Amino acid sequence: MKEMVTVMWPIQPIQQEKESFYSYICRISELNHCDLKANYKLLGVRYRQNNPNPIYLDERDTIRFINLTVNSRVNDWLFLERGSGNTDCFLFGQKFPRYLLSKKVKVCPLCMRDHNTFNSEWQFTHITTCIEHQCLLQDSCPSCNGLFSWSEELLHKCTVCHMQWKDICRYIEKFNKVEKLDVHKLLIYQLNKNNKLEKEQYPVEVLKLRYIDLVHVLSFFLG
């Protein structure tokens, strides 16, 4: 007998590739005209004001949570182990030390214009560049220089001056372009092995490194 699945909202959008949990629930809340924090509570997930993207592993396993129509995309969300100290986090089916995570809000404004979603990769300290648009990730608005903070409105605009992402092109000259992307591409690849990489341009020994090993190597050379 086929198991019955409860539909929690009339509209459940398709989760985008690498879209964070927070981003997805923000879009669900917006489309269904309901309160974001109430939806977190409904799912049995605690809303963390300083960073609502990661969720605990046991929160993922609640019955109410599994009813989300995300299928295999659940691995695109950032999961945390409970506990203090040297706990781990999980993303894309891989395990990472939790200290690699950043507390900053950083985005690619051009990705925000094109997709209106937060990318889970942006949560890592050493991911500083958007490979697609060849620019540094931004933690402040290119219009008013106000620092970004987590908000549903940030999916569409700066929460300080209300500059909309669709108008970002007028500020594009302020973006720091990154011309040599080899190291950045390698970091992204080691973080998420599903990314495409022209492997022939890298030594085999480098390709065998784990993400954390690559970070340690870069930290050594960059001081």
**pLDDT one-digit tens code per residue, 105-156:** 999 999 999 999 999 999 999 999 999 999 999 999 999 999 999 999 999 9
| Domain shared by 196 and 163, yes or no | no
**pLDDT one-digit tens code per residue, 21-65:** 999 999 999 999 999 999 998 888 999 989 999 999 988 776 455
- Answer with the one of 60, 92, 124 that is the final residue of a domain: 92
The structure tokens listed for 195 are 């990314």
Long-range contacts of 191-198 (CB under 8 A, 24+ apart): 191/91, 191/92, 191/94, 191/121, 191/124, 191/127, 192/18, 192/91, 192/92, 192/94, 192/121, 193/92, 193/94, 194/92
- Tell me the pLDDT of the chain averaged across its residues: 87
Domain assignment of residue 133, yes or no: yes
| Domain shared by 59 and 26, yes or no | yes
Which among 63, 69, 60 is positioned nearest to 28, based on CA atoms? 69
pLDDT score of 2: 45
- Answer with the one of 92, 117, 143 that is the final residue of a domain: 92
**pLDDT one-digit tens code per residue, 187-221:** 999 998 877 888 888 888 888 889 999 999 887 66
Domain assignment of residue 199, yes or no: yes
pLDDT score of 28: 93
| Domain shared by 163 and 216, yes or no | no
Phi/psi class of residue 204: alpha, beta or left (left: φ > 0; alpha: ψ in -120 to 50)?
A: alpha
Distance CA 77, CA 64 (A): 17
| Domain shared by 26 and 86, yes or no | yes
Domain assignment of residue 120, yes or no: yes
Domain assignment of residue 98, yes or no: no
| Domain shared by 83 and 27, yes or no | yes
The structure tokens listed for 85 are 């100290």
Domain assignment of residue 2, yes or no: no
Domain assignment of residue 37, yes or no: yes
Q: How many residues does the chain have?
A: 223
> 148 is in which domain, residue-wise?
109-173
**Residues of the chain above pLDDT 90, percent:** 58
pLDDT score of 164: 96
| Domain shared by 128 and 66, yes or no | no
pLDDT at 11 over 70: yes
The structure tokens listed for 38 are 């109430």
Instruction: Give how many domains the chain has, as a whole number.
Output: 3
pLDDT classification of 69: cutoffs 50, 70, 90: low
